[in-house]
Homo-oligomer: A and B are copies of this chain.
Amino acid sequence: MGFLRLASVCAVVASLGVCSAAGAAERPLVIGSQGSFFVGGEVKAVTPPPGASALQRAGDITVNQMYVQYQIPAGPARRLPVVMVHGCCLSSKTWETTPDGRMGWNEYFLRKDRPVYLADQVSRARSGFDPSVMAAVKAGTTPPSALPNIISATHQLSWVLFRFGSSYPNAYADEQFPVQAADELYKQMIPDLNAQLPTPNPTLTNMAALARQLKGAILMGHSESGFFPEQAALIDPTDIRGLITIEAQCPANLTAQQIATLAKIPTLVMFGDHLSDAPTMIVNWQTTFEVCNAFVEKVKAAGGDAQMMHLPKMGLRGNSHMLMQDKNNLQVADLILAWIDQHAERKAH
């Protein structure tokens, strides 16, 4: 018995009945270096609540650290890295192999010679979370109301909110999300404990710190984290060379000074399709889009290089909220990569 390489890659998505021939035929990836590390983190003293397990003892734990996984292409080129930060109830899996087994943006950007850094938000996935409140509630020393509002979106909610269709499980006629593989997306959806984070959210501070560590980086956020790049820049813009905001809620109340700070950094905002005809479930997409349009105009009015890419206007129709996983995800990536070349990389040199 031996290990059939290509067969096995297909095997893992066999339950979906799909195995991209294009993916299997992809040329080998040549990676200069890869690895993972943490940004930030603070030491916190904890005392064991009554009745705690033997493993729970008085001492210190580390909280608010951000896990980052990176790959840097081989070759002599010095290119700005892209830091990708996922949205609500998701992890960095967002950017990897799509639910139907195609190449994710992490690998595609790398193949286009961009160093890629994937960050799990603080309190999510490999970044861990602070369990102190849960231990105290279990022990009875803190009331249950102190527990955070943990968000874990249901399949039914995600379907409409992510604009796969106007009602579950019906898809829009031109839907680009691979809805036959939606079950694989649901496996990516994990509990979101951001409600228990301090202010400012340590993910923002850590994103700004990461840009400094890298001596220049483009920050990209999506959905919940869509405006995180700008928020990180408002904490410390020093080494942030580009802001990419995908399908986000933009604040309407930024001050002139804040706009002036952001206007020094090239900014791209992107939205998919079905904004005006999506039913409002939590989010009114058309209004959200309009507020982001107004943000872009304010940055431009302040002399900034800001651009709104509304995909239907660029000729790409049917894109969902999860456009990095849509069937045309690499076409969407090409728009971003071209924007980086023309707006962020050029200015960085």
Residues of A within 8 A of B (CB): 1-9, 11-14, 23-24, 26, 28-38, 41, 43, 46, 52-62, 65, 67-69, 72, 74, 78-81, 88, 91-93, 96-97, 101, 103-104, 107, 115, 120, 125-129, 131, 134-135, 137-140, 144-145, 147-157, 183-184, 186-191, 213-216, 241, 282, 348-349
Contacts and interface: CB of A to CB of B under 8 A. Distances in A.
A3 B184 contact: no
Shortest beta-carbon contacts, A-B, top 9: A128-B190, A59-B154, A2-B78, A35-B97, A28-B74, A59-B156, A138-B147, A38-B187, A131-B191
B157 A72 contact: no
A76 to B, nearest CB: 8
A253 to B, nearest CB: 21
A157 to B, nearest CB: 5
B58 A3 contact: no
Nearest to A68: B12
Given A30-B28, A35-B104, A3 B78 contact: yes
B215 A4 contact: yes
A148 B74 CA distance: 46
B3 A126 contact: no
A60 B41 CA distance: 34
A93 B67 contact: yes
Given A26-B33, A74-B28, A55 B3 contact: no
A210 to B, nearest CB: 9
A15 B5 CA distance: 39
How many copies of this kind of chain does the complex include?
A: 2
Of listed A58, A145, A147, residue having the most chain B CB within 10 A: A147
Given A3-B216, A131-B191, A134-B147, 8 more contacts: A2-B78, A3-B214, A30-B30, A43-B186, A59-B155, A126-B190, A128-B191, A131-B152
Contacts of A144: 137-140, 144
A137 B147 contact: yes
Contacts of A156: 57, 59-60
A28 B74 CA distance: 6
Contacts of A125: 91, 120, 125-126, 128
B28 A32 contact: yes
B3 A215 contact: yes
B127 A190 contact: yes
Of listed A35, A43, A135, residue having the most chain B CB within 10 A: A35
Nearest to A115: B3
B147 A213 contact: no
Contacts of A190: 126-129
Nearest to A191: B131
Nearest to A23: B33
Contacts of A67: 91, 93, 187
A150 B126 contact: no
Of listed A24, A92, A190, residue having the most chain B CB within 10 A: A190
Nearest to A58: B154
